[in-house]
Structure 1
Amino acid sequence: MKLSYKFLILPLAMLVVACGSNDELANKKADLEKKRKEVTALNSAIEELEKEIAKLDPDFGKTLRKSVLITTIRPTKEEFKHFIEVTGAVLSKKNVSISGEVAGRIQEVKAIEGMRVNKGDVLAIIDSESIVRNMEELEKQLELATVVFEKQERLWNQEIGTEIQFLEAKNRKESLEKSLAGLKTQLNRSQVRAPFKGTVETVNVRLGELVQPGTPMFQFVGESDLFIEADISERYVGIVGKGDSVEIAFPSINQTLKTKVSAVGAIINPNNRTFKVEVFLPRMDNVKPNMISVVKINDYESAGAITVPNYLVLQDSKGDYVFVVENEVAKKRYITRGMTYKEITEIKEGLNGTEVLVDKGFREVGDNFSVNITQ
């Protein structure tokens, strides 16, 4: 029995020690929380006193500010160019609708949409059987009229017969020749041909369809005399003009070129408040009608302009400003900005180009803040 009591005393002792440790830990945590609250209250009191003293003594306020870690940058003096960027489309002055010139039924359609053809290639054939038959009949009549005319001419030269007989035979022959020539022209026109080298955009007829003169059959676009057309906002009226420098980019083929504005529209579109601009396009083998392009028109440039990155220009109720560094102190410098293009802003007034500007950390500083410059 004595052995059993010894084994019971040991767990009871451990339990008492554990309870004592928990109480001590809880007391320490409570004490820590109490002191933290005291520190917070003390810091608040110190801050309030500093503010009150700073109002009475501005120099005292400057000494309390901690230096802000920043990097710096200098303004750039360079040639600044501004561009208007719009989307344009490649068009052709040879964009025509090809129509039938004779009546008849479509006998064959050789062209398909997207086909590239040369000048004179046959696009479609209109049935010409009736024309051929009329030609055969006229040829026989002309053969007889020619024989009659030749005989009347010989008689007339021998002063036999009347002048009327001679003239009638001559007129008959010439009339038949003209009629036959007209039928040959119709026969030739029964074959619809490409007027120039280009691409068949749309096919509007089908095999066996009956067409009349003037019936639209094909929409045809030539591959020469290409130009780019773009819509420009009306606020650029008077700014964009004929002869202005233009940079053209074709994203699909990753090519660029420089050219000029060849024409400026005189009418504002009431639907989107834009006017048309036509840009001359030199001949390029891999540029096709309807291809999308990016048109960049140079509407402003300045040599030796002072420029800064856009993000450095801030604004308050007085206007635009940047932070400059003077004697390790950030100063607010008000500026007059000019044009902005591709994250670069031209500075018209306020900077001479020799200043040191706050770069990284510009949002953490304020006027008369002490700064610590790092690389």
Structure 2
Amino acid sequence: MKLTYKFLPLIALAFVAISCATEDGVEAKKAELEQLKTQSNEITNQIKALEAELMTLDPEFAKQNHKSILITTANAKKGRFEHYVEVTGSVLSKKNVIISSETSGRILEVPVSEGQRIAKGAVLARIDAESIERNIDELENSLSLATTLFEKQERLWNQQIGTEVQYLEAKNRKEGLERNLASARTNLDKAEVRAPFSGTIETIDVRLGELVQPGMSMFQFVGDSDLFIEADISESYVGVLKKGDSVNVSFPSVDEDLHTRVSSVGAIINPNNRTFKVEVFLPNLPMVKPNMISVLKIQDYEHNDAVTVPSYLILSDNRGDYIFVVEAGVAKKKYVERGKTYDKHTEILEGLEGNEVLVDKGFREVGDNFNVNIVQQ
């Protein structure tokens, strides 16, 4: 036991020596690795610089040195191309009227509410007409007496008794009272304000018990028929859009689509937003209501033999717009003149024939004369 304790310090010293030797070896290897990495980076940079220099001096070397880039392709198309102006419009009604009072009096009843749909002839409000009713009673009594007197005077006149003046005065009094009674009854009818056509009550401007006068606004009323769409078009389309042009209309809220035409083009530019008004004819549709939002697509250009490409494939540099096409496994840069763009496709006016194979996926990684490898989708 004493012998074991005697050798313990020697064993510990040996472990310390071995540990130090191991740590020195690891650090040495790390330093050597870093040195090799530095040398490798320097060699790689030298290789790249030399390749770039050779590619500039020798085009054949550049072509052979390019690695093939994986791409997919798309085809240029030749056929009919249409361009549309897309704007937001609002459904309006030509029967959007203000209903006013035609007689004076106090409001006795308003049996309708805002937003309510009303049939033609329905009562919107009742006005106190007590004075008119009393006047009608007096006129009816006076007319009854005048009629009796006229009939007696007429019999006398037929018997050649009395003068012609007496007969004419009796007749005139009777006919005058008849006209006054008819007018009073018309005023009595006006005490009931009725809907002039079927529609919806937008606003109510009177309240129960309020005194109204002739011409005073009572209701804003919008009819269900004679609807049209109104939209604001940029002044840049002046002369392009005209009456009768084709229009595709969609109503996002009810998922309804229809084909119609421009019915009116405004002649004045709004100085606030530099637009002019366009009206579009709208047939009667049960689902379409006044003030509903619509999207108008008005065709302003068409070409039956146009060359088109996906818009995102067109790139630009200092020289102009270009697109990559595939020829014999090599990407070629083709400069083009673009026309109008619609629905993510652009018309190419010059530079393509319409039968080219275009670089699709990978078009940003390729360059002029790059080798490409087409991946089948």
Give the TM-score range, shorter chain. Answer: over 0.9
Partner of 2:213: 212
3-state SS, counterpart of residue 258 of structure 2: strand
Give how far 1:25 is off.
Answer: 1.4
How far apart in 1 are the matches of 2:297 and 2:12?
89
How far apart in 2 are the matches of 1:53 and 1:346?
39
Give how far 1:155 is off.
Answer: 0.6
Partner of 1:262: 263
Give how far 1:313 is off.
Answer: 0.4
Scaled by the length of structure 2, the TM-score of the pair is 0.97
How far apart in 1 are the matches of 2:133 and 2:353?
87
How far apart in 2 are the matches of 1:336 and 1:59?
30
How far apart in 2 are the matches of 1:11 and 1:177?
140
Partner of 2:244: 243
How far apart in 2 are the matches of 1:204 and 1:11?
106
Give how far 1:78 is off.
Answer: 3.3
Moved more, 65-74 or 222-231: 65-74
Partner of 1:331: 332
Output the amino acid matched with 2:166.
Answer: Q
Partner of 2:286: 285
Give how far 1:42 is off.
Answer: 1.6
The alignment status of 1:53 with 2:50, answered yes or no, reads: no
The alignment status of 1:306 with 2:310, answered yes or no, reads: no
Give how far 1:311 is off.
Answer: 0.8
Where in structure 2 are the equivalents of 1:54-93 lying within 5 Å? 54-93=55-94
3-state SS, counterpart of residue 290 of structure 1: coil
Moved more, 269-278 or 51-60: 51-60
How far apart in 2 are the matches of 1:37 and 1:124?
96
Moved more, 343-352 or 42-51: 42-51
Give how far 1:73 is off.
Answer: 1.4
Output the amino acid matched with 1:102.
Answer: T
Partner of 1:96: 97
How far apart in 2 are the matches of 1:363 and 1:56?
25
Scaled by the length of structure 1, the TM-score of the pair is 0.97
Give how far 1:56 is off.
Answer: 3.0
Give how far 1:333 is off.
Answer: 0.3
Partner of 2:173: 172
Where in structure 2 are the equivalents of 1:337-348 lying within 5 Å? 337-348=338-349
Give how far 1:65 is off.
Answer: 2.1
3-state SS, counterpart of residue 131 of structure 1: helix
How far apart in 1 are the matches of 2:166 and 2:321?
102
Partner of 1:31: 32
For these two proteins, the number of residue pairs brought into alignment is 375
Moved more, 88-97 or 352-361: 352-361
Moved more, 301-310 or 259-268: 301-310
Give how far 1:319 is off.
Answer: 1.2
What RMSD, in angstroms, separates the aligned Cα atoms of the two structures? 1.3
How far apart in 2 are the matches of 1:54 and 1:114?
77
Partner of 1:121: 122
How far apart in 2 are the matches of 1:20 and 1:70?
56
Partner of 1:354: 355
Partner of 1:274: 275
How far apart in 2 are the matches of 1:177 and 1:362?
92
> Gaps (5+ residues) in structure 1?
none
Where in structure 2 are the equivalents of 1:221-240 lying within 5 Å? 221-240=222-241
Could you report, residue by residue, the CA deviation over 1:187-222 in whole angstroms, capped at 9, with x for unpaired residues? Answer: 000000000000011000000100000000000000
How far apart in 1 are the matches of 2:301 and 2:145?
80
How far apart in 2 are the matches of 1:123 and 1:238?
46
Output the amino acid matched with 2:311.
Answer: N
The alignment status of 1:185 with 2:189, answered yes or no, reads: no
Give how far 1:7 is off.
Answer: 3.7
Output the amino acid matched with 2:251.
Answer: F
3-state SS, counterpart of residue 51 of structure 2: helix
How far apart in 2 are the matches of 1:248 and 1:180?
54
Could you report, residue by residue, the CA deviation over 1:65-121 in whole angstroms, capped at 9, with x for unpaired residues? Answer: 222221111112232211111000000000000000001011111121011111100
Output the amino acid matched with 1:238.
Answer: G
How far apart in 1 are the matches of 2:193 and 2:302?
53
Output the amino acid matched with 1:297.
Answer: I
